[in-house]
Amino acid sequence: MINDEGTEHQTFIVPEHYPQMSLADCLRRLGVSLNLRRKIKHHGVIRIDGVVCPWYAKVSPKSEIEMEWTVASQITPENIPLDIVYEDDWLLIVDKPAGMLVHPTPKQPGGTLANAVVHYYRQLGYTHAFHPVQRLDRNTSGLLTIAKLSSIHHLMNKQRLRRRYLAIATGTPEVAEGIIDLPIARHPDSIIIRIVSSTGQDAITHYRVLQSFPTASLLQLELETGRTHQIRLHLSHIGHPLLGDDLYGGKTDLIARQALHSSFLELQHPITGAVISLSSPLPQDLEQLLKQLDTHVSAVASHREKNNSINQEG
C-alpha cells in the first residue's frame, strides 16, 4: 500500500499462537518474501509496536510489525534546488520548503525531495539511495536529516533526535507550558488520518506558548516520539488546531498550508560522536502570518485608544 508520503507500507499483527522469535524468522513465517525483506533492509525501516528495531530483535505474540520502504529505482533524478544546511560523508541535512513531498507517489512521481536529493547525488558521482531519517508532511517546512548509506540510516534510527518545531495555532492554550500525552492510531477508514485512541501508540509532545494574539498563538513544540501527524493531531485534540490545517480543523484564509516549521535539530553523529545542533528561521509565509496577526492586535489597540480618548473628551 502507498501511503500519503509516498512510501510503501505494510502492517502485520503477530498471531497469538506464534512463539517468541526473531523478527527475521517471524517475517519469513508470515510469508514476507526475501525480495521484500531486502528492499526494507536497504531502502526502508521496520518497527515493532512503533519502535524502530534491528532484524535480530525479538517479536512477541500480538506485536504490531510495521514495514515501510521506498524503492530507489522509482526515484527519477531531477534538478531541483536544495537548501543544504549540513553535509559530510555520512549525512545530508536540508531545509525543506512547504509544498514539497519527501517521497514520490504514483500521483506525483516528480518534484519531491527524493528526486532532488538523488539528482544531487548523481551530480557528485554517488550511487546512494534516498534514506530520510525523519518524516515531514508535504506542507510542513524545515530541517530534515538524510542518511547517505543504509548502514548509517540504521544507526540513526537507534538514537532519539532532539526536534523542536514552531507552530501557529488557533487560540491560546490555557496553560502556557505543558505536555500532551495522548496515544495515536490510524483512523480505521483512512490511511492518512490519525486519531487519539487508547489502543494507539504512545505519543508525547511538549509545548510552550511563545506569543499570544487574540485568535492565535505562536508555540514551540518538542517531540519525545515521532508519530505521523503527531503535532497536528495533538493540538487539534486539545482545541488548538494549527492555522491552515484543513485535515484537523484549522482551516483559514490567512495561510494556504498548516503553520508548522521544523526549526531546531540536535543529534549525535553516528560515526564521529560529535553533537550537531542546527536551527532554521521561520519561512516567509509564517513570518507574514505573524505580521498579519500582530497588525490585527495593533489595529484593535489603536481603536480602543481612540474610543477611550473620545469618551474622555465627552
pLDDT digits (tens, 9 = 90+) for 5-20: 446 778 888 998 999 9
Least confident range of 16-25, 93-102, 177-186: 16-25
Rounded to an integer, the average pLDDT of 259-279 is 96
pLDDT of amino acid 169 = 98
pLDDT band at 154 (very low <50, low <70, confident <90, very high): confident
Pairwise pLDDT comparison (46 vs 234), residue with the higher score:
234
Q: Are strands 260-268 and 141-147 parallel, antiparallel or unpaired?
A: parallel
- pLDDT band of 54, cuts 50, 70, 90: confident
What is the model's pLDDT at position 73?
A: 52
Farthest-apart Cα atoms in the chain, separation: 86
Q: How far apart are CA 11 and CA 3, in angstroms?
A: 12
- Asked whether the predicted pLDDT for residue 143 surpasses 50, the reply is yes
4 is catalytic: no
CA atoms within 13 Å, Cβ hemisphere of 179: 8
pLDDT at residue 286 in the model: 98
Nine-digit cell at 139? 506542507
Three cell numbers at 2?
502507498
pLDDT band for 33, please (50, 70, 90 cuts): confident
pLDDT-derived band at 35 (thresholds 50, 70, 90) equals confident
Reference 238, options 228, 246, 248; nearest CA is 248
Q: What value, to the nearest 5°, has the Cα angle with vertex 262 and ends 260 and 265?
A: 160
Domains and CATH numbers, the chain: 8-69 (3.10.290), 71-148 (3.30.2350.10), 159-287 (3.30.2350.10)
Q: What was the pLDDT predicted at 5? A: 47
Q: What is the pLDDT of residue 45?
A: 84
Expressed in percent and rounded to 5, the helix, strand and coil fractions of the chain are 25, 30, 45
Mean pLDDT of the chain: 88
Q: Choose, from 95, 137, 245, 285, the residue flagged as catalytic.
A: 137
Q: How confident is the model at residue 303 (pLDDT cuts 50, 70, 90)?
A: very low
Helix or strand or coil: residue 258? coil
